[in-house]
């Protein structure tokens, strides 16, 4: 039982850390957009990459709402499998997104991080919510 008690706060902290990093990227996405573009770029290229990154970050925030709703409502709070999966994926996302920001990785790498670390746990959270007929 003590392992379960430590998973709940650890999961909450990693969810919160991932959310903070996403919001930070959202507010300061200019440097990341410029790293996605060639040295000389047009305004249209900049707007296109800005739109792509804004959509990706917005969808990530929507998935966070889904996952936090399931967690804070108690549906998946004490589910050990979901807690471990969420803990692993969101802590991995924190590390990867830190490299994404500090090393100015290309924007296509965000989609890989997004699909593994945000979509996968959110889809499983949705399955948990639907299996309990909460929605």
pTM for this prediction: 0.88
Q: How many domains does the chain have?
A: 1
Instruction: Show the domain range for 27.
Output: 2-131
Instruction: Give tens-digit pLDDT for 16-29.
Output: 999 999 999 999 88
Contact 106, 36 (CB under 8 A): yes
3-state secondary structure of 49: helix
Instruction: Give tens-digit pLDDT for 75-120.
Output: 888 888 999 999 999 999 999 999 999 998 888 999 999 999 999 9
Backbone angles phi, psi at 88, to 5 degrees: -70, -45
């Amino acid at each position: 039982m003590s392992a379960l008690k430590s998973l709940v706060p650890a999961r909450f902290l990693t969810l919160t850390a991932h959310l903070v990093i996403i919001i930070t990227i959202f507010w300061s996405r200019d440097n990341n957009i410029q790293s996605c573009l060639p040295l000389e770029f047009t305004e249209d290229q900049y707007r296109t990459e800005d739109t792509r990154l804004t959509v990706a970050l917005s969808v990530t925030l929507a998935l966070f709402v889904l996952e936090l709703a399931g967690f804070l409502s108690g549906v998946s709070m004490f589910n050990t499998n979901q807690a471990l999966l969420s803990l692993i994926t969101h802590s991995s996302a924190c590390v990867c997104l830190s490299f994404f920001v500090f090393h100015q990785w290309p924007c296509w790498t965000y989609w890989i991080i997004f699909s593994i670390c945000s979509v996968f746990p959110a889809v499983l959270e949705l399955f948990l919510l639907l299996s309990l007929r909460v929605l």
